[in-house]
């Protein structure tokens, strides 16, 4: 009887070795042997979100929107949002930026946890009334898309020193103003976030003038909304 028991135990050990040892070897080779307490599935734990770099806190702002309502960072507390600098009479890159933002709005329309901020760098012209007319002409329907105006010096300081996104006056260029065509992505906790380029460097901001940049920011908005 004892011999039969030993034979049975030996058989179990043999089967265990055949089934489990290769798994252990594979995990050692991959460096994941300590990723879980047992030989069960190791969960990713939201690793996709970790691919987005945290650049720093979004600069504080307090401006007036197209409905004469004061908008601040706190307006977007707990929300993911995108920021751009533009002006309504821009004859060059702004129309393209507007269309890019409309594509983003359309994809996330109705999501209360997402918003858009468009800050005018020509606030003397772009009053709340003008901004509201512009939003209507664009076909904006989201209540979470705010077109903002305020003091020109304040806005230039916010763009150039706060975000490091160039904005300035230049009488030699069409429209009289120069500015970046980049979009800033802000997470639920108020931090600027971005993906890395092919070399592993943070891109900082997303190109609002190219389809590739719009696609990338849409993908990363989804990641942040799921955090």
Binned average pLDDT, 10 residues per bin, the chain of 227 residues? 46 43 41 33 42 96 98 97 98 97 97 98 98 98 97 98 96 94 98 97 98 98 96
SS3 54: strand
User: What pLDDT sits at residue 147?
Assistant: 98
Q: What's the confidence (pLDDT) of residue 50?
A: 80
Burial of 140 by CB count in 10 Å (0-12 exposed, 13-18 middle, 19+ buried)?
A: buried
pTM for the predicted model, two decimal places: 0.78
Other CB atoms within a 10 A radius of the CB of residue 213 amount to 18
Q: What per-residue confidence (pLDDT) applies to 219?
A: 98
Q: What are 55's two structure tokens?
A: 């650049």
Rounded Cα–Cα distance for residues 88 and 124 (Å): 11
Query: Can you give the pLDDT at residue 51?
Result: 86
What is the predicted pLDDT for the residue at 41? 30
Query: What pLDDT, on the 0 to 100 scale, is given for residue 49?
Result: 66
Angle between helices 211-225 and 94-108 in degrees, nearest 10: 30
Q: Residue 32 has what DSSP assignment? A: -
Half-sphere exposure of 123 (CA within 13 A, CB side): 20
Per the rule left: phi > 0, alpha: psi between -120 and 50, beta: everything else, 50 is alpha
C-alpha span between 197 and 58 (Å, rounded)? 21
């Amino acid at each position: 009887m004892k011999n039969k028991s030993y034979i049975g135990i030996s058989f179990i050990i043999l089967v265990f070795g055949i089934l489990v040892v290769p798994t252990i070897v594979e995990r050692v080779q991959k460096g994941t042997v300590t990723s879980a307490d047992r030989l069960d599935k190791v969960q990713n734990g939201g690793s996709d979100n970790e691919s987005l770099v945290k650049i720093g806190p979004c600069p504080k702002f307090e401006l007036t929107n197209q409905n004469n309502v004061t908008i601040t960072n706190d307006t977007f507390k707990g929300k993911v949002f995108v920021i751009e600098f533009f002006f309504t009479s821009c004859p060059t890159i702004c129309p393209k930026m507007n269309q890019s933002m409309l594509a983003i709005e359309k994809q996330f329309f109705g999501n209360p946890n997402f918003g858009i901020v468009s800050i005018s760098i020509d606030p003397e012209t772009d009053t709340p009334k003008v901004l509201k007319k512009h939003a209507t002409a664009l076909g904006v329907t989201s209540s979470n898309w705010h077109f903002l105006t305020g003091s020109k010096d304040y806005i230039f300081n916010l763009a150039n020193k706060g975000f490091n996104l160039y904005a300035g006056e230049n009488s030699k260029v069409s429209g009289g103003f120069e500015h970046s065509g980049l979009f800033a992505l802000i997470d639920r906790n108020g931090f600027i976030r971005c993906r890395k380029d092919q070399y592993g460097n943070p891109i900082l901001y997303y190109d609002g003038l190219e389809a590739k940049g719009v696609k990338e920011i849409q993908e990363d908005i989804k990641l942040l909304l799921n955090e």
